[in-house]
Structure 1
Amino acid sequence: MSRSKACENFHKLLPVLHETLSRIGVLPHRNFKNVKKMKEIFKNIEQIIIDATERPHHRPKNNEKQSSMYSGKKKNMP
């Protein structure tokens, strides 16, 4: 299957998946108002799987702003 066809199928079938998961009550929670609400929702859950995705971040051109945004991490380059 080509990449474009896979993408087309994904976007076509995503609403079906969302509706199905919603109907059977297993749609993942994505946003919580506070920690108390999160604990309330997961009180009977034994295991939670969290998936995180990196997102691109705009890097300021100003040196002072860059240094304030710098995390201190360095990439390990061989």
Structure 2
Amino acid sequence: NVIDINLFIPLLEKTLKRLRELPTGKASLIAELVKSYNDVLLDGTERPIQRPADADRQKSCYSGKKTHSLKNNVPTLPD
């Protein structure tokens, strides 16, 4: 499956700002990086975990497949 990574830029920027991982004044940094690379591969995995006791944590870890899991997505370059 091929997905246009530009669809995820606003979400990624919002998340990085919330986590305070995006440098101040560099909101377009992600868009610039995406433009710099023609091919970006996205790989993801979902690892099952024990159901968290905290209700908010349960919501964030619920997989939608009747289980709880941690989700990891990693952008990589083909080379």
Fold conserved (TM > 0.5)? no
Question: How high is the TM-score relative to the length of structure 2?
Answer: 0.30
Select the structure of larger CA radius of gyration. 1
Higher strand content, 1 or 2: 2
Larger RCO, structures 1/2 (Cα 8 Å, 6+ apart): 2
Higher helix content, 1 or 2: 1
